Amino acid sequence: MAQKKVIDARGTFCPGPLMELIANIKLVNVGDELEVLSTDQGSQSDIPEWVNKVGHQMVSTTEQNGVWHIVVRKAK
Amino acid sequence: MRILIVGGGMGGTILANNLARRLKNELKTGKVKITMLSASDKHMYQPGLLYVALGRMATDELYRDQASLLEPGIEFQVDPVEEFHLDKNQVKTKGGKTHSYDLIAIATGSRPVPEAIPGFAENSINCYTEAAALKFHKTISEFKGGRVVIAVGVPHKCPMIPPEVTFTLYDYFKDRGMLDKVSFHYTYPIGRLHSLEPVSNWMKGEFAARNITTETLFNIKEIDGAKKVIRSEEGSEAKFDLLVAVPAHKGMEVIEKNNLGKGGWIPVDKLRLTIEGRTNAFALGDTTNIPISKAGSTAHFEAEALAENLASIVKIGSPVRDYDGKVFCFIEAGKDRATYAMFNYNNPPDPKPPTKSIHWFKMAYNQLYWASARGLL
What would the pLDDT profile of A13-62 be if each residue is shown by its tens digit? 888 999 999 999 999 999 999 999 999 888 989 999 999 999 999 999 99
Query: Across chain B, what does the average pLDDT equal?
Result: 97
Contact A50 B197 (CB under 8 A): no
- How far is it, in rounded angstroms, from Cα B39 to Cα B252? 12
Q: Which of B155, B262, B346 is facing A15, going by the closest CB pair?
A: B155
The answer to whether the beta carbons of residues B300 and B14 sit under 8 Å apart is yes
Residue A4's pLDDT is 87
Contact B190 A14 (CB under 8 A): no
Contact list, B189 vs chain A (CB under 8 Å): 18-19, 22
Residue A14's pLDDT is 86
Q: Cis omega (within 30 of 0) on the bond before B155?
A: yes
Residue of A8, A56, A58 whose CA lies nearest to B345: A8
Residue B375's pLDDT is 81
Instruction: Measure in Å the smallest separation between the Cα of B10 and chain A Cα atoms.
Output: 20
Residue of A28, A26, A21, A19 whose CA lies nearest to A7: A21
- Backbone φ and ψ of B186, nearest 5°: -105, 125
Sign of CA dihedral B258, B259, B261, B266: negative
Is the pLDDT at B247 greater than 80, yes or no?
yes
Is the pLDDT at B59 greater than 80, yes or no?
yes
Q: B243 forms bridges with which residues in the sheet?
A: B149
Q: What is the residue-wise DSSP string for B219-238?
A: -EEEEETTTTEEEETTS-EE
Contact B327 A22 (CB under 8 A): no
pLDDT in tens, B186-235: 999 999 999 999 999 999 999 999 999 999 999 999 999 999 999 999 99
Closest chain A CA to residue B189: A19
Instruction: Measure in Å the smallest separation between the Cα of A30 and chain B Cα atoms.
Output: 16
Contact B190 A22 (CB under 8 A): yes
Count of C-beta atoms within a 10 Å radius of residue B361: 15
- Here the ipTM equals 0.94
Closest chain A CA to residue B349: A13
Residue B377's pLDDT is 77
Region B11-24: what's the mean pLDDT?
A: 97
Chains A and B form CB pairs within 8 A to the count of 75
Chain A contact residues (CB < 8 Å to B): 7-9, 11-20, 22-23, 26-27, 42, 46, 49-50, 53-54
Residue A55's pLDDT is 95
pLDDT in tens, A62-76: 999 999 999 999 999
pLDDT in tens, B149-167: 999 999 999 999 999 999 9
Percent of chain B beyond pLDDT 70?
100
- How far is it, in rounded angstroms, from Cα B336 to Cα B341? 17
Residues of A marked as catalytic = 14
Is the pLDDT at B263 greater than 90, yes or no?
yes
pLDDT in tens, B98-154: 999 999 999 999 999 999 999 999 999 999 999 999 999 999 999 999 999 999 999
Residue A3's pLDDT is 83
Contact list, B291 vs chain A (CB under 8 Å): 7-9, 12, 15-17, 20
Contact A18 B190 (CB under 8 A): yes
Contact list, B292 vs chain A (CB under 8 Å): 12, 14-15
